[in-house]
């Protein structure tokens, strides 16, 4: 401080002027500092603004790229889901088609079994009816033969009349046994060719048995009349 005062006095100033001159110097220094700072701000502001604009632009580009990537990923996910749904739909349609084919084959098999059962039932009923008819007539014939034999033994004088009566009765029995048209089932419209052929073969077999039975009855009459 003394040195500063001495220097100030050497410059022609009094000691009383020293505080005033110190304040002026301090103000000048402060003003100079503010001026330099403002100059630096004027120089740095465009750079800072440019830097901020560049950062904002990069951030916008990054946001745009992110949104684009997100949209592309969503589109890929949607395509994948659509393809998967279509694939599952195709598989479901194939399974449904296979199931329908299996159901159709099973239904057709049931229909064939039912058809065979109906045909066998018809054939069985036909055979039972024809067999029952032949069995009843055969039993009646045996009863008739026995009764005629007893009458012939009681009436030895009516040999010729008994012969004629026996021959007539044998012819009637033969006619009854051979005429089975009223008791035979006729083919119906719902029968196919195989069913009609089986029915005809069954009736032919019964007719042959009937003819053989007629001959047996005739010879039985001949034996009883001897």
- Angle in degrees, CA 199, 201, 202, rounded to 5: 65
User: What percent of the chain shows pLDDT beyond 90?
Assistant: 4
- Angle in degrees, CA 127, 128, 133, rounded to 5: 100
3-state secondary structure of 160: helix
185, 124 contact by CB (below 8 A): no
The tens digit of pLDDT for each residue in 181-200 reads: 444 556 666 667 777 677 67
145, 221 contact by CB (below 8 A): yes
The tens digit of pLDDT for each residue in 107-118 reads: 888 889 888 888
Confidence at residue 139, expressed as pLDDT on a 0 to 100 scale:
44
The tens digit of pLDDT for each residue in 24-82 reads: 566 566 666 767 776 766 666 677 677 778 888 888 898 999 999 999 999 999 988 88
Which H or E element spans position 130?
A: helix 18-154
Max CA distance (Å), the chain: 209
pTM as predicted? 0.29
Domain locations along the chain: 2-62, 122-225
Q: What count of Cα atoms within 13 Å lies in the side-chain half-sphere of residue 67?
A: 6
Cα–Cα dist 220/149, whole Å: 11
**Helix-helix angle 159-178:18-154, to 10 degrees:** 170
């Amino acid at each position: 401080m003394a040195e500063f005062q001495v220097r100030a006095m050497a410059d022609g100033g009094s000691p009383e002027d020293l505080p005033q001159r110190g304040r002026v110097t301090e103000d000048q220094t402060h003003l100079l500092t503010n001026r330099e700072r403002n100059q630096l701000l004027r120089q740095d502001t465009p750079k800072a603004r440019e830097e901020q604009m560049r950062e904002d632009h990069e951030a916008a580009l990054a946001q745009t790229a992110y949104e684009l990537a997100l949209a592309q990923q969503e589109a890929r996910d949607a395509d994948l889901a659509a393809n998967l749904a279509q694939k599952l739909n195709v598989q479901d349609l194939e399974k449904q088609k296979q199931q329908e084919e299996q159901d159709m084959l099973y239904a057709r098999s049931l229909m064939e079994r039912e058809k065979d059962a109906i045909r066998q039932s018809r054939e069985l009923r036909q055979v039972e009816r024809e067999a029952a008819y032949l069995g009843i007539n055969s039993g009646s014939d045996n009863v008739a033969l026995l009764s005629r034999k007893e009458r012939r033994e009681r009436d030895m004088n009516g040999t010729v009349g008994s012969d004629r009566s026996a021959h007539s009765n044998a012819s009637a029995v033969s006619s009854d046994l051979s005429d089975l048209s009223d008791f035979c089932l006729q083919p119906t419209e719902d029968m196919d060719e195989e069913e009609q052929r089986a029915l005809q073969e069954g009736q032919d077999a019964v007719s042959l048995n009937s003819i053989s039975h007629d001959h047996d009855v005739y010879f039985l009459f001949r034996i009883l009349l001897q």
